[in-house]
């Protein structure tokens, strides 16, 4: 049985969201090239609408709905970035967005959800708690549930970042993206392999939240348990849709320790003069590590977002 999301779906998403999201810039840095021993091309989704790649999938999902489907609004559970992106897309279509947010989520990301018009409901931080709150709201409103990553329209939308990167930078040998639930990495793999089956696609993951690396090594889904990482966007498990896509198309998952994530984030701020969040720094950290398999290669790097709580920067001690 083939995947439930295809390269054609990514192409359709590209057409659907054109003009709704930004075509983000691709930046380079000779300093980071030297440190990585590779030629790096950074797709800067930190400059995307809502400050994160998730605007792509959210707009694809919201604008693919029929008028009848959209009327009751949309609903999701999210630690922040997907909720903000879905709120923005819903506002632009003129429909409600109900966002279930786990207690303890980043204050900056909750503020962004509200700024974009999302209606926030807090829930326990556990997945069952989030899902129960979402089910209650769905029963009350009839809103359409848009899963943060395990949704065909979300996956296809996220893949458009890689389509743009590969159109702008010919001759790439590999693409690296962070992996949490796997929506971005699945879309990236579909786009990259659809354009050039020889392209190598890698995920990058915190060592303290390495369910994707363990699942792919074992050949079976292993859920995330007690993730310990500053990269709050990468604490979720792979999904039923994303795992088979990655198992079929991924070269591997590179894992990195916390101190290297923080150092890579700080280095991007210092050297590239751009704001990225910890999840975005994970692929850079993997490429800067001594064990990187991509030295000497031309590598595309998806910088997933730039939504940082400026009062809680990881290199500032309390």
User: What does the pLDDT read at residue 3?
Assistant: 54
Flag whether pLDDT at 67 surpasses 80.
yes
Q: Taking a C-beta distance cutoff of 8 angstroms, is the pair 45, 24 a contact?
A: yes
Q: Which of 43, 49, 54, 193 is catalytic?
A: 54
Q: Taking a C-beta distance cutoff of 8 angstroms, is the pair 61, 154 a contact?
A: yes
Instruction: Please report, to the nearest 10 degrees, the dihedral formed by the alpha carbons of residues 94, 4, 78, 74 taken in order.
Output: 20
Flag whether pLDDT at 291 surpasses 80.
yes
Q: Please give the Cα distance from 167 to 23 (Å, whole number).
A: 11
Q: Taking a C-beta distance cutoff of 8 angstroms, is the pair 41, 298 a contact?
A: yes
Q: Please give the Cα distance from 124 to 243 (Å, whole number).
A: 26
Backbone angles phi, psi at 244, to 5 degrees: -65, -35
Flag whether pLDDT at 28 surpasses 80.
yes
Q: Which of 79, 87, 215, 304 is catalytic?
A: 304
User: What does the pLDDT read at residue 310?
Assistant: 83
pTM of the predicted structure, to 2 decimals: 0.94
Candidates 192, 194, 157, 168; CA nearest to 10 is 157
Q: Is 43 among the residues known to form the active site?
A: no
Q: Tokens for 302, please give them.
A: 């998806």
Radius of gyration of the chain (CA): 18
Candidates 163, 158, 151; CA nearest to 191 is 163
Q: Taking a C-beta distance cutoff of 8 angstroms, is the pair 116, 88 a contact?
A: yes
Flag whether pLDDT at 2 surpasses 50.
no
Q: Is 54 among the residues known to form the active site?
A: yes
pLDDT band at 126 (very low <50, low <70, confident <90, very high): confident
Q: Give pLDDT tens digits for 131-142.
A: 999 999 999 999
- Which DSSP helix (H) or strand (E) runs through 135? helix 127-141
pLDDT band at 97 (very low <50, low <70, confident <90, very high): very high
């Amino acid at each position: 049985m083939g995947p439930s999301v295809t390269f054609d779906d990514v192409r359709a998403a590209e057409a659907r969201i054109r003009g709704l999201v930004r075509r983000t810039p691709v930046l380079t840095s000779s300093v980071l090239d030297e440190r990585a021993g590779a030629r790096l091309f950074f797709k800067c989704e930190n400059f995307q609408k809502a400050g994160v790649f998730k605007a792509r999938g959210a707009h694809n999902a919201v604008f693919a709905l029929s008028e009848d489907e959209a009327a009751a609004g949309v609903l999701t559970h999210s630690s922040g970035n997907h909720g903000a992106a879905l709120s923005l897309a819903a506002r632009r279509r003129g429909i409600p967005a109900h966002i279930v947010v786990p207690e303890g989520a980043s204050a900056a990301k909750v503020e962004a959800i509200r700024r974009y018009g999302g209606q926030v409901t807090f829930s326990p931080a556990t997945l069952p708690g989030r899902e129960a709150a979402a089910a209650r709201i769905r029963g009350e409103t009839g809103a359409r549930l848009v899963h943060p990553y395990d949704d065909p329209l979300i996956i296809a939308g996220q893949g458009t970042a890689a389509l743009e990167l590969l159109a702008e930078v010919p001759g790439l040998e590999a693409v690296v993206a962070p992996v949490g639930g796997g929506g971005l990495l699945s879309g990236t793999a579909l786009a990259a392999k659809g354009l050039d089956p020889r392209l190598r696609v890698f995920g990058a993951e915190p060592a303290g939240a390495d369910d994707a690396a363990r699942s792919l090594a074992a050949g079976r889904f292993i859920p995330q348990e007690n993730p310990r990482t500053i990269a709050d966007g990468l604490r979720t498990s792979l999904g039923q849709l994303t795992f088979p896509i990655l198992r079929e198309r991924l070269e591997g998952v590179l894992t990195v320790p916390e101190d290297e994530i923080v150092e890579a984030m700080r280095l991007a701020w210092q050297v590239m003069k751009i704001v990225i969040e910890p999840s975005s720094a994970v692929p850079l950290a993997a490429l800067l590590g001594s064990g990187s398999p991509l030295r000497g290669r031309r590598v595309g790097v998806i910088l997933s977002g730039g939504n940082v709580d400026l009062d809680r920067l990881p290199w500032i001690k309390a």
